[in-house]
Amino acid sequence: MTCLLPSHVDVLIVGAGLSGVGAACHLSQNRPTTSYAIVESRERMGGTWDLFQYPGIRSDSDMFTLGYSFRPWKEAKAIADGPSILHYVKETARDYGIEDHVFYSEKVTKASWSSLDHLWSVELLNTVSQETRNITCSFLYANTGYYRYDEGYTPDYRDRDAFQGEFIHPQFWPRDFEAEGKEIIVIGSGATAVTVVPALAQTASHVTLLQRSPTYIFSAPFNDDTADKLRKSLPPMVAYRLIRFKNIIRGSITYQLCRRAPNLVKGMFKKNIEKQLPENYDVDTHFTPTYNPWDQRVCLDPSASLFRSISNGSVTMVTDHIEKFDTTGIVLQSGTHLNADVIVSATGLHLQVLGGIELEVDGTDVDLSTTISYKGLMFCGVPNLAFTVGYTNASWTLKADLVANYVCRLLDAMDKKGATQVIAQAPDPSMKVETVFDLDAGYVRRSAGQVPLQGAKRPWRLAQNYPLDYMDLKHGSLPATLVFS
């Protein structure tokens, strides 16, 4: 980075991860005369894909939908490893001229809106020098993800300090870690556990996956045969769009089937898993959740690597509750003792909205926990601000692309109307509201009372259905509930 951070920009993008880079690309393509800067609290680009370094780190969605709408994914694997995704983000930033707009080690701590000036005054903390400074912007665009980067969630394990081996949270994986010859326990049942366990099992003496309760897991190939055929015979962008469309429709149909015929889908999950595990394996205990598919996010096991690791004996599933830690491992409530050289607590994230930024409108603090979102991308009563939170039931970037396009439409409308402010009106106070995260996941339950709300109907909620949201956000009219001035 050779440029100096300007004192004012038209649009300030917060975050240089997958969403932030995509937002800047949309802005530079659709509004080339709009000035912008990206401030990133960390020292490097990439967000999640730079932060997480645990073994096996990969996407939990196919790259034809996790990739940007405007830039084809060209690598062979449809389910990509973390370094490949990071390379894709950085390469996109380079090719679209985004790099010179990124300012690293600049953490946004507070943003204050002035209705008199129609500007945001944004306070930045340099995480290296610890110096603070301010920048103003006409529009604030937060692409900060949904969790705390500085702290993962670790339960309060009884006697954890008694354990004499190595204790690791995947969010802060030690770069010099060697699994070879070690007995490892991985605690958790979500995407991280499903990813890291088979990767560790390749060299560890043995890996135990310890879970309190099962999760839904489905296996799919790393490669997409249809995609391979289309990419051989069609121009890259044409093939990419066709594959993307196919996967979007397939994903939407699958999700709707899960919601509308859960018992049917439960049976399909069970039969699929039984085929991949040894005969008489206890699928009911270890892989049959009590909730319906997509009440919590369904985990992906590419090429059945977890199931194969269980079948070959390198991984053991244990479904039980932890009583306490001791010097050599974990004591379970059943009385069983699990030995370990290493314990990995793959127990989730700390949910955080807007990266912890304090918001203020005309001197009054904004309490996001009582604020209703608008179309899943603005906050009612908060002017000239958009935020990105991806889908919980599909690829993150599908939603991020729609938000970026909508922001450009908003800015175009402001220019056309000669407006310097746009604000979303709140619904009738009698409208039923709920949190914006429509999952029953642990990290959502733990964050109850800290996250924004959504209404019972549009435009104060989205369908969480990409085809419908695409028509709404990309082609729908800007409703009267948006006030320009």
Both tokens of 111, joined, read: 């943003």
| Residues 75 and 207 both lie in one domain | no
∠ CA 305-147-120 to the nearest 5 degrees? 145
* Alpha-carbon gap, residue 305 to 287, rounded angstroms: 15
| Residues 230 and 368 both lie in one domain | no
pLDDT of residue 1: 44
Domain boundary among 347, 374, 389: 347
pLDDT of residue 435: 82
| Residues 254 and 384 both lie in one domain | no
pLDDT of residue 447: 66
pLDDT digits (tens, 9 = 90+) for 400-453: 999 999 999 999 999 999 999 999 999 998 899 888 876 666 666 666 667 888
Could you tell me the pTM of the whole model? 0.95
| Residues 361 and 468 both lie in one domain | yes
Per-residue pLDDT of the chain (485 residues; tens, 9 = 90+): 457 899 999 999 999 999 999 999 999 999 999 999 999 999 999 999 999 999 999 999 999 999 999 999 999 999 999 999 999 999 999 999 999 999 999 999 999 999 999 999 999 999 999 999 999 999 999 999 999 999 999 999 999 999 999 999 999 999 999 999 999 999 999 999 999 999 999 999 999 999 999 999 999 899 999 999 999 999 999 999 999 999 999 999 999 999 999 999 999 999 999 999 999 999 999 999 999 999 988 999 999 999 999 999 999 999 999 999 999 999 999 999 999 999 999 998 988 989 999 999 999 999 998 999 999 999 999 999 999 999 988 999 999 999 999 999 999 999 999 999 999 999 998 899 888 876 666 666 666 667 888 898 989 988 889 999 999 999 999 988 999 99
CA separation (Å) from 405 to 26, 305, 473? 7, 37, 8
Encode burial over 106-134: b for 16+ CB neighbours within 10 A, e otherwise. Answer: bbbebbbbeeeeebbebbbbbeeeeeeee
Report if residue 402 sits inside a domain: yes
pLDDT of residue 480: 87
The total of structural domains in the chain comes to 2
Report if residue 3 sits inside a domain: no
* Alpha-carbon gap, residue 310 to 385, rounded angstroms: 48
Beta pairing class for 329-332 and 147-152: unpaired
Beta pairing class for 8-14 and 36-39: parallel
- Burial (CB < 10 A; 0-12, 13-18, 19+), residue 283, is middle
**Nearest-CA neighbor of 148 among 404, 450, 464, 391?**
450
Domain boundary among 347, 372, 391: 347
**Could you tell me the residue range of the domain that residue 130 belongs to?**
8-149+350-484
Report if residue 270 sits inside a domain: yes
| Residues 294 and 389 both lie in one domain | no
Report if residue 396 sits inside a domain: yes
| Residues 160 and 145 both lie in one domain | no
CATH number for the domain harbouring residue 372:
3.50.50.60
pLDDT of residue 218: 93
Report if residue 379 sits inside a domain: yes
Half-sphere exposure of 178 (CA within 13 A, CB side): 2
Report if residue 55 sits inside a domain: yes
Percent pLDDT > 90 in the chain is 89
| Residues 45 and 136 both lie in one domain | yes
Report if residue 1 sits inside a domain: no
pLDDT of residue 443: 65
Report if residue 201 sits inside a domain: yes
Domain boundary among 347, 366, 385: 347
Which residue do the tokens 């060299």 mark?
A: 203
